[in-house]
Amino acid sequence: MPLAHMKPMLKKAQLEKFGVAAFNMIDYNSARAVVDGAQELNAPVIIQLSVKTINLWGFQPIAEWVRMLSDSVDVPVALHLDHCKDLNVIKNCIDAGWTSVMFDGSSLSFKENIRQTKLAYEIATSAGVGLEAEIGAIGGTEDDKFVAEDDAILANVDECVEFCQHFPDLAVFAPAIGTAHGVYKGEPNIAYDRLTEITSSVDIPIALHGGTGLEAEQFSRCISSGCAKVNISTMHKLQFIQGFTGLKETQPNLGEPIPFIDAQYELMKKGVKDMIALFGSQGKA
Ligand code: 13P
């Protein structure tokens, strides 16, 4: 089916209390593993990209790949731009066919975040595309952004309420609730109370960033408290690499590339299906 919009997909997830998995794709093979995994479990899914990956492949090839893959299945697939501060990149994604975009103003002051998010909101909503916006500071590394553990800041509830009043049509809201991008160094310290306070004051689906490394019980508490979009990047990237290196270890003399691509695809697709099943979106297409 044609590329789907993220807002209705996430509204349904919020109401029915399941999580839509959002994977950071790397290349065509990775996007194929995500879309096929979702199709096999009859689940809605989000393919998202960091700016670094877009710079590698270009806007048009990515949009073409994902559109083609989406056309070949009958589950909703949204194409989303992950953390981005550059309005030109946001415009280029929308022009190329992305169905949602994120503006990440979380490193700005609260006022400046609102001011700049308004510019992105105007661009996205006038094009009929959903917007994700963030406040607080999510720890860890994503793309070129690094937030040290000590600098991670939980989103303030009053600020969440004020922020969202400016953006009634926001597709998804990303308040920092203690999760972190990348591999967790210690036990993740999720502020469930803060999450519940936010979701009882703000009626917008919440994005859970930093999904890699969380336990089933942590996902399920976050999802039942209103997290409708669950981001997985690091796990997918590690499986992308492990697909190749795992086969190389067992068959060091193999010189034919296609078995490597197949091994990588199967490993990534298994990861995709595991996450979809864990987030309760299986059968929810
Ligand atoms: P992980 O890399 O921890 O899976 O986080 C992904 C993410 O939140 C992308 O924005």
Predicted local distance difference test score (pLDDT) of residue 137: 77
- For residue 254, report the distance from its CA to the centre of ligand 1, in Å: 33
Across the chain, mean pLDDT equals 95
Give the CA distances from residue 86 to residues 21, 105, 115, 125, 143, in Å, rounded to whole numbers and listed in that order: 25, 10, 14, 17, 14
Confidence of residue 188 (pLDDT cuts 50, 70, 90): confident
For residues 39-63, average pLDDT: 98
Q: Assess if residue 221 is contained within a domain.
A: yes
- In this predicted model, what pLDDT tens digit does every residue of 257-278 receive, in sequence order? 999 999 999 999 999 999 999 9
CB of 7 closer than 8 Å to CB of 171:
yes
Kindly list the strands in the beta sheet with 180-181, ordered across the sheet, starting from the edge strand earlier in the chain.
145-147, 139-142, 180-181
Q: Print the domain residue range for 47.
A: 6-279
Predicted local distance difference test score (pLDDT) of residue 150: 64
**Hey, whose CA ends up nearest to atom 8 of ligand 1?**
209
Take residue 194 and report the two structure tokens written for it.
């803060």
CA distance 74 to 72: 7
CB of 96 closer than 8 Å to CB of 63:
yes
Q: Assess if residue 53 is contained within a domain.
A: yes
Residue 106 has pLDDT above 80, yes or no: yes
β-partners of residue 141 are 146
Confidence of residue 283 (pLDDT cuts 50, 70, 90): very high
Predicted local distance difference test score (pLDDT) of residue 140: 74
β-partners of residue 88 are none
Q: Above pLDDT 90, what percent of the chain? A: 89
Q: DSSP secondary structure string, 83-101?
A: S---HHHHHHHHHHT-SEE
CB of 143 closer than 8 Å to CB of 83:
yes
Angle at alpha carbon of residue 257, lines to 272 and 58, rounded to 5°: 60
Residue 47 has pLDDT above 70, yes or no: yes
- Measured from CB, residues less than 6 Å from any atom of ligand 1 are 24, 82-83, 142, 181-182, 209-212, 231-235
The alpha-helical segments, DSSP class H, found in the chain are 6-16, 28-40, 51-57, 59-71, 87-96, 110-126, 157-165, 192-201, 216-224, 234-250, 257-279
Catalytic annotation, residues = 82
CA distance 174 to 160: 9
For residues 280-284, average pLDDT: 98
Residue 141 has pLDDT above 90, yes or no: no
Say how many domains are in the chain.
1
- The amino acid sitting at 168 is P
Q: Assess if residue 285 is contained within a domain.
A: no
Q: Assess if residue 284 is contained within a domain.
A: no
Residue 211 has pLDDT above 70, yes or no: yes
The interaxial angle of helices 28-40 and 59-71, nearest 10 deg, is 20
Residue 149 has pLDDT above 70, yes or no: no
Residue 32 has pLDDT above 80, yes or no: yes
Confidence of residue 37 (pLDDT cuts 50, 70, 90): very high
For the chain, state the CA radius of gyration.
18
**Ligand 1 atom, smallest distance to 82 CA:** 10
- For residue 148, report the distance from its CA to the centre of ligand 1, in Å: 15
Q: Assess if residue 1 is contained within a domain.
A: no
Predicted local distance difference test score (pLDDT) of residue 151: 62
Residue 168 has pLDDT above 70, yes or no: yes
Confidence of residue 181 (pLDDT cuts 50, 70, 90): confident
Q: Assess if residue 12 is contained within a domain.
A: yes
CATH number of the structural domain spanning residue 151: 3.20.20.70
For the chain, the maximum distance between any two Cα atoms, rounded to a whole number of angstroms, is 60
CA distance 18 to 23: 16
Buried b (16+ CB within 10 A) or exposed e, 8-22: ebbbbbbeeebbbbb
Q: Assess if residue 216 is contained within a domain.
A: yes
Predicted local distance difference test score (pLDDT) of residue 147: 67
- For residue 206, report the distance from its CA to the centre of ligand 1, in Å: 14
Q: Assess if residue 23 is contained within a domain.
A: yes
Predicted local distance difference test score (pLDDT) of residue 171: 98
- In this predicted model, what pLDDT tens digit does every residue of 223-242 receive, in sequence order? 999 999 999 999 999 999 99
Q: Which of 149, 232, 237, 274 for mutating ligand 1's site (highest number of atoms within 8 Å of CB)?
A: 232
Residue 193 has pLDDT above 90, yes or no: yes
Predicted local distance difference test score (pLDDT) of residue 136: 87
Sequence-distant (6+) residues with CB within 8 A of 179 are 138, 139, 188, 190, 208, 209, 210, 211, 214
**Ligand 1 atom, smallest distance to 235 CA:** 4
